[in-house]
Amino acid sequence: MQRYSTITEKNPREIVLLRGRGCRYRRCAFCDYHEDASCDEAANLAINTEALENVTGQYGTLEIVNSGSFCELEESTMKTIIGVCVAKGIRIVHFECHWLYRRHIPALREAFARFGIAVKMKIGVETFDHQYREQTMLKGINETDPAKIADAGFNECCLLFGLPGQTAESMRTDIETGLRHFERVCVNIMIENSAPLQPCDEVRQAFVRDIYPEYKENQRVDILLHNTDFGVGK
C-alpha cells in the first residue's frame, strides 16, 4: 500500500493515507474501501508514523486521507500529525469528514489552531442531486441545500461521477454548484469494485469527452480519473 505521495499541480501538497478504526457509516452504495482499518491503535500508529516520516513540509500543506473521517483516527495519530506539522512548518492541513461528524469539526480546528495550523475540511458530497444521493448512493446527508452543507464546516467537496443515470449536464451542474459554495472541488470517477452500485461506461465516456476538457486546467478542480491518481492507495 502506497501511503505517501506529493501532488505537484493545482494546490501543491503532500498527501498521506493513514489507517484508523475505519468508517463507522459504511453504507454508501458505491464504496468497498472499508478494509484499510484496524482496532489495534499501536499498529495503526506504527503505520501512520512511518507514512508521516516521509513528510518534508516542502509545500507547507499536507492532506490527510484515511478511508473514512478524521474522527476515526486515534488521538495518538492526531498528536503525531500535529508534531510533524510543527516540525516541518506545515500551515495548512486538509482532512476528510462524513456529514455525520460535522459537529466535531470546530474542536479539531481549535486543536490545530493552537499550533498556528489551519484546517481545510473536505466532505464527500458526491452529487448535489439530493434524491440521487440519498436514494441511489445512500450517502447519509440529510441536507438538501448546498450552502447549508458548506456552512456546516466544510471548505471542499468531493463529487463522484461515472454512475448510471448521470449525464454530462448533471455532472457540469454538480461541478458548478460545488465551485459556487466550496473553495475547491475534487472529482472522482467511479471504477469497478465489489460494491452494489457500479459504474456506467457511457457516463464515464461522457465525462472524459464533454466535461474533462472544460475543467482540467481549473486550479480549483482536482480530477481523479483513477482513484490512485493522487499517488496513494493500491
Residues that bind ligand SF4 (CB under 6 A): 23, 25-28, 31, 34, 67-68, 98, 124
Q: Write out the DSSP string of 64-119.
A: EE-SS-GGGS-HHHHHHHHHHHHHHT--EEEEE--GGGGGGHHHHHHHHHTTT-EE
Helices 75-88 and 41-52, interaxial angle, to 10°?
20
If the CB atoms of residues 28 and 85 are measured against ligand SF4, the closer one turns out to be: 28
If the CB atoms of residues 152 and 168 are measured against ligand SF4, the closer one turns out to be: 152
Measured distance CA(22)–CA(27) in Å, rounded: 13
If the CB atoms of residues 25 and 59 are measured against ligand SF4, the closer one turns out to be: 25
Measured distance CA(101)–CA(87) in Å, rounded: 28
Contact between 82 and 112 under an 8 Å Cβ cutoff? The reply is: yes
Tell me how far, at minimum, the Cβ of 116 lies from ligand SF4, in Å.
Answer: 30
From 158, 139, 130, select the one nearest 31 (Cα to Cα).
139
If the CB atoms of residues 6 and 155 are measured against ligand SF4, the closer one turns out to be: 155
If the CB atoms of residues 138 and 168 are measured against ligand SF4, the closer one turns out to be: 138
Tell me how far, at minimum, the Cβ of 32 lies from ligand SF4, in Å.
Answer: 8
Tell me how far, at minimum, the Cβ of 87 lies from ligand SF4, in Å.
Answer: 29
Tell me how far, at minimum, the Cβ of 232 lies from ligand SF4, in Å.
Answer: 15
Tell me how far, at minimum, the Cβ of 100 lies from ligand SF4, in Å.
Answer: 8
Helix (H, G, I), strand (E, B) or coil at 212: helix
